[in-house]
Amino acid sequence: MDQTIALNAVSIGPLRAAKPADVDSLLDRVFGADRRRRTAYRIRDGMTAIDDLSFAAFDRGGALVGSLQCWPAALDGEVPVILVGPVAVEPALQREGIGRAMMDRMIAAADYLGSDPLVLIGDPEYYGRFFGFESHWTREWTVPGPVERRRLLARVPEGITLPAEGHLGPRR
């Protein structure tokens, strides 16, 4: 489907407008039912999603077709960062612009709110190319589980730096 047509048929709104059961079932379809064992879940263990930075995509009929959540996290418990993810698009509708629309909306909100640096585990070919995420910030960080170093990415606002070393986990 042409990207313009797809986006016209989809609206982006706050994730709170989606039923939690629908979000869970979308995430199970996209990442598998064992998704909770992933390192990203351990990084934000016990945290509550940030309402202002969590978005959903709905089709014309109101069905949930995408979700993006953000969480409080920190280096060594104290240096605040925001963990982005999971970012999920209904498998049959992937690569039609829905992921980018949700990410653009979240980044615009984060920039507007002057939020802390964003971190995520994801493909640099996607998150670097479209949204400016980079792995050089995270080279010496440790995380609570296995990670492919090239997929541990950060997007840091101009004029801000992050510690070169530290353990990425829940915020204290």
Ligand X SMILES: CC(C)(COP(=O)(O)OP(=O)(O)OC[C@H]1O[C@@H](n2cnc3c(N)ncnc32)[C@H](O)[C@@H]1OP(=O)(O)O)[C@@H](O)C(=O)NCCC(=O)NCCS
* Cβ closest to ligand X, residue 43 vs residue 74: 43
The 3-state DSSP class for residue 148 equals coil
| CA separation for the pair 58, 121 (Å, rounded) | 24
CA–chain centroid gap for 144, Å, is 18
Check binding of 41 to ligand X (CB under 6 A): no
Q: How far is the CB of 98 from ligand X (least distance, A)?
A: 4
Q: How far is the CB of 129 from ligand X (least distance, A)?
A: 7
Say how many residues touch ligand X, by CB under 6 A. 17
**What DSSP state is assigned to residue 156?**
-
Residues 96, 107, 117, 137: which binds ligand X (CB under 6 A)?
96
Q: How far is the CB of 151 from ligand X (least distance, A)?
A: 8
96's CB contacts (< 8 A; 6+ apart) are: 1, 3, 6, 7
* Cβ closest to ligand X, residue 76 vs residue 123: 123
Sole window of 15-23, 47-55, 89-97, 156-164 interacting with ligand X (rule: CB under 6 A): 89-97
| CA separation for the pair 99, 90 (Å, rounded) | 10
Q: How is residue 44 written in tokens?
A: 């934000």
Q: How far is the CB of 128 from ligand X (least distance, A)?
A: 9
Q: How is residue 148 written in tokens?
A: 């492919």
* Cβ closest to ligand X, residue 76 vs residue 94: 94
